[in-house]
Amino acid sequence: MCQLLGLNCATPTDATFSFTGFRERGGNTDHHADGWGIAFFEGKGLRLFLDHESAAQSPMAQFLQAYPLKSRNIVAHVRKATVGEVALENAHPFVRELWGRQWVFAHNGDLKDYEPKLHSHFRPVGTTDSERAFCWLMQELHKSHAGLPSVRELTATLRELIPQVTRFGNFNFLLSNGEALWAHCSTNLHWLVRQHPFALATLKDCDWTVDFATMNQPGDRAAVIVTTPLTSNEQWTAFQPNELKVFVDGLPLE
């Protein structure tokens, strides 16, 4: 199985602290060593980094720790291959264009015998069940709306579409278009919001503690979504099975 990391922020924020702990799970503290990727939205633009090597040993991952990029929406993934060979085209996150926006998707889980009917516009490049599911979601969103709908409308449509995928297996995923971050849990996903008054945080996967009060302003805020909690001294909330949450400006949208 794979692991997911997402950040949705009120102001542009770097993922250095979270990514440092998360990266260790790509081959050091866990066995997700079959590729990794991370996507940073910058307005309508997108910086995407992918590698079929393990995140723990990747020079590119090391570079990103030394050269932090700031974004309001970040999606990262470390892979344990189940469906599809270890190859660059099978590394998450995957990206597609819809309604003049970039969409980013990363998945954790197995979908058995999942072969949805796909039209010509959204087709997988690699061989994973994850990319097929992403293409199908994009196809059905396109069919459901003539143009870019509101975040709430998109959330309502996703709630209708997701059960058509989950009947094939586990469908933990992160999805973002740079405006919001959607997170769906089939089995295992956790979240928290870091905001004023900021406090200390200590990573589980390596020896690093930071005082966010010295690094942030009162208006800063970040929602962090991850498969299993990254820190040992913060209060993480577990998603319920089959729960879909959407985050905007660093907060869950009710």
Of residues 2, 9, 135, 185, which has the active-site annotation? 2
CA nearest 11: which of 72, 61, 76? 72
CA distances from 6 to 139, 146, 178, 223 (A): 23, 28, 12, 8
- Provide the whole-model pTM: 0.95
Fold of 3-252: Glutamine Phosphoribosylpyrophosphate, subunit 1, domain 1 (3.60.20)
Domain ranges, ordered by start, for the chain: 3-252
**How many CB atoms lie under 10 A from the CB of residue 177?**
20
Tens of pLDDT along the chain (254 residues) come to 689 999 999 999 999 999 999 988 876 776 656 789 999 999 889 999 999 888 878 889 888 988 889 999 999 999 765 665 767 899 999 999 999 999 999 999 999 999 999 987 899 999 999 999 999 999 999 999 999 999 999 999 999 999 999 999 999 999 999 999 999 999 999 999 999 999 999 999 899 999 999 989 999 999 999 999 999 999 999 999 999 999 999 999 97
CA nearest 223: which of 197, 179, 190, 186? 190
pLDDT at 34 (0 to 100):
74
Q: Residue 152 is which amino acid?
A: R
C-alpha 221: how far from chain center: 18
CA nearest 46: which of 99, 104, 105? 104
> What's the chain's Rg over C-alpha atoms?
17
Q: Is 206 a catalytic residue?
A: no
d(CA 107, CA 183): 10
DSSP 8-state symbol, 26: B
CA nearest 107: which of 173, 33, 52, 46? 173
In degrees, to the nearest 5, what angle opens at C-alpha 120 toward C-alphas 118 and 125?
75
d(CA 113, CA 82): 13
